[in-house]
Amino acid sequence: MTALTGRVFRLPDLGEGLTEAGLVQWLVAVGDTIVTDQAIAEVETAKSVVELPSPFAGVVTALHGEPGETIDVGAPVLEVAEGAGAESTAADAVEHDAYREEERAGSGNVLIGYGTSAPTASGRRRPRARATAAPHRSADAEPVPPPTIAPPERDMPTDASPRRPVAVRSPLVRRLARDLGLDVRTIAATGHDGAVTRADVLAAAVDAAVDGAEASHRRIDAHGRIGAEDRAGAGAVDDLSVTSRERLSPLRKAVGAKLSRSRSEIPEATVWVDVDATELWNLRSQMAAEGDRHPSLTALIARFALIALEEHPILASRLSDDASELISFDGVNLGVATDTERGLMVPVIRRAHERSVEQLDDALRELTAAARAGSVPPERLRGSTFTLNNYGGLGVDGSAAIINHPDVAILGVGRIIERAWVVDGRIVPRRIAQLSLVFDHRVCDGGYAASFLRRVTELVEHPLRAFGRV
């Protein structure tokens, strides 16, 4: 690898617990002259595809990574040298040092405008000590590490026995350890300043997951990869040769972590019912003026679910982190499970209970298109309080859905197809769909969940009741 020279731009803290990003494409090349805040690459996070702006101005001397590769937070992205045409100054260096301190603190707001030297919106002043020291640093010097941050109170021992102090500079490392169920006080630190690093956490996770003999032969490096000496045996299958190993995308790993957490923490239960959607199927084409677009079935069922949630608000609540309190809200943020080429995404319609069917339909079409294009902003992918999953669009009748943590329920809808159905003692063809509700058994019992599902069923079978016409 080329030695790091000049100013090195490292992948910043992306916020939301994200620890890496996939490189989609470079927007600059070696030899290009760039200015501060110029977009230099497109990266794919577990949330969306975003442009990455440079905090430096100057001439690009090196690019680190090829499209399709994954870059870890803190790893070098590109290098910039000052020279003819470069607009970088010592003041830029001071600003970037201050930015690095904010990034290490986990601000998460670093992909837009962090490189500018204009005053921040909050009016915070930069420490003068940094400004006087910066001009004495060489151009190729590494950023000065920030002071060691003491762990917050929740990581302090509860017993009286003495424990060694632990330095965890990055909130991402602390969150990774928490998500893996590890106590940072028990992890051996290898950071140059005595801090616990991401590699330390990953190594500790492996040691905790395998027995002593296996742990002595397998190790995971700082990128979460199995060591070269173990690749031949890891995951090997008798009589079959491994043809390839493909690292999971940031989105796939984020989805996996969230679903694993849901299954490990939530004692879920499921109720389901077959519903006669014939009347809804026939009336849908009449729910729009001539020449206008009629609403989607997803939008209609979303409206029915929101009506039912008004009468069953517990299913749109949340549990506190220690599961000791039920947190209720003044409405519903509706998450909509969306299948995309990148994987499952759940864009959120905020305050969905206030929207009409037409407004829900517009929002659904907009968010679905954006999710499939990878352009949904991160803030539109969080904050749901109830999730709707229309897997019927995938051509299946039912699914054992997993709750979208930290929601406490998810409503699934299968495909609507013609089946033989008994009506008034006669067997007739009807449009039938299966509805399933997966719920957190800690917040309610089966009777409450069944009552919600019966209400949704009533509205699907008699849709005019949802609009006050029956």
Q: Model confidence over 37-72: pLDDT tens digits? A: 888 998 887 656 778 888 888 999 999 988 888 888
Domain presence at residue 82: yes
- Highest mean pLDDT among 147-151, 322-326, 434-438 belongs to 434-438
Domain interval for residue 125: 7-136
100 in any annotated domain: yes
CA separation for the pair 385, 408 (Å, rounded): 8
15 and 111 fall within a common domain: yes
Q: What are all long-range contacts of 280-287, with beta carbons under 8 Å and residues at least 24 apart?
A: 280/431, 280/460, 280/461, 280/463, 281/416, 281/431, 283/463, 283/464, 287/357
The verdict on 275 and 126 lying in the same domain is no
Q: Which of 136, 171, 190 is the last residue of a domain?
A: 136
Looking at the domain assignment, is residue 145 inside a domain?
A: no
Does one domain contain both 172 and 108?
no
Residue finishing a domain among 88, 110, 136? 136
Greatest C-alpha distance within the chain: 91
The number of residues in the chain equals 470
Confidence class for position 212, pLDDT limits 50, 70, 90? very low
pLDDT of 204: 79
Element spanning 70, H or E: strand 70-72
Residue 204 near residue 182, CB atoms below 8 Å: yes
Q: Residue 312 catalytic?
A: no
Whether residues 294 and 219 share a domain: the answer is: no
Greater confidence (98 vs 124) lies with 98
Same domain, 158 and 121: no
Judge if 70 and 212 occupy the same domain.
Answer: no
Same domain, 160 and 305: no
Distances (CA, A) of 437 to 107, 350, 449: 37, 21, 7
Distance CA 438, CA 234 (A): 35
311-325 pLDDT, tens digit per residue, is: 999 999 999 988 899
CB 415 within 8 A of CB 433: yes
Per DSSP bridges, beta strands 334-336 and 386-389 are: parallel
- Kindly state whether residues 351 and 395 are assigned to the same domain: yes
Over the stretch 327-352, which tens digit does the pLDDT of each residue have? 999 999 999 999 888 788 899 999 99
**Which pair of tokens denotes residue 293?**
């677009």
Q: What is the CATH number of the domain that holds 77?
A: 2.40.50.100
Residues 295, 358 within the same domain = yes
Residue 248 counted as domain residue: no
Question: Is 361 among the domain residues?
Answer: yes
- Using the 8-state DSSP alphabet, how is residue 275 labeled? E
Instruction: Give the Å distances, CA to CA, from 399 to 296, 386, 447.
Output: 21, 17, 21
Q: Count of domains in the chain?
A: 3
Is residue 237, in this structure, part of any structural domain at all?
no
Q: Given the residues 96, 405, 441, 462, select the one marked as catalytic.
A: 441
Task: Assess if residue 147 is contained within a domain.
Answer: no
Q: Kindly state whether residues 108 and 208 are assigned to the same domain.
A: no
In a domain, 15, yes or no: yes
Q: Ramachandran region of residue 123, left (φ > 0), alpha (ψ -120 to 50) or beta?
A: left
Do residues 77 and 170 share a domain? no
